[in-house]
Amino acid sequence: MLWFAPPPPAAAEPAATSPEQSITQALTEWTLAFNAGDHGAVCELFAPELRYDYRGFPERGFDEVCQLLRGTLADATRKYAYDLAIKEIIVSGDLAAVRLVWTLTVKRPGQFGGTSTYEPGLDLFRRQPDGRWKIVRYIAYEE
């Protein structure tokens, strides 16, 4: 009688990253890059066709938003830091809507505490040809 040992268990394949996980990771990485003052990475979250609508300001596109963010990070008279709270992510195919709240804290050198603003918003992400999720539209307002 021949005995055969059962084959070894197959190595578990890594679980595919869900769109929600990818979007959460992209937002988290952007927050870390912004807070670290990383001028090179601060525009990575946005698609070239970005349209941005922030209450009280003119609508802007990718170039204007990136210029504004890079200028903010270059301002040596203030330190800017964002905190992120994702409320909901709804995915449909290659589009995703994200309800979130950014809390921006601005401090001057040597200042304790700083000033914080609470900015609820809605970001529309589109999966890019390389598989990454990027913001194509966002609407935000300060409370």
Domains of the chain with CATH codes: 19-140 (3.10.450.50)
pLDDT at 16: 64
How far apart CA 74 and CA 57 sit, in angstroms, is 21
Determine the average pLDDT of the residues in 18-36. Answer: 97
Per the CB < 8 A criterion, the answer to whether 55 and 142 are in contact is yes
Location of structure tokens 């055969």: 4
Q: What is the average per-residue pLDDT within 5-31? A: 75
pTM, entire model: 0.85
Please tell me the predicted confidence (pLDDT) of residue 110: 81
Burial of 63 (0-12, 13-18, 19+ CB in 10 A): exposed
Examine the pLDDT at 143 and tell me if it is beyond 90.
no
- Give the pLDDT of residue 111: 79
In the structure, what pLDDT confidence band is assigned to residue 14 with cuts at 50, 70 and 90? very low
Confidence of residue 1 (pLDDT cuts 50, 70, 90): very low
Confidence of residue 112 (pLDDT cuts 50, 70, 90): confident
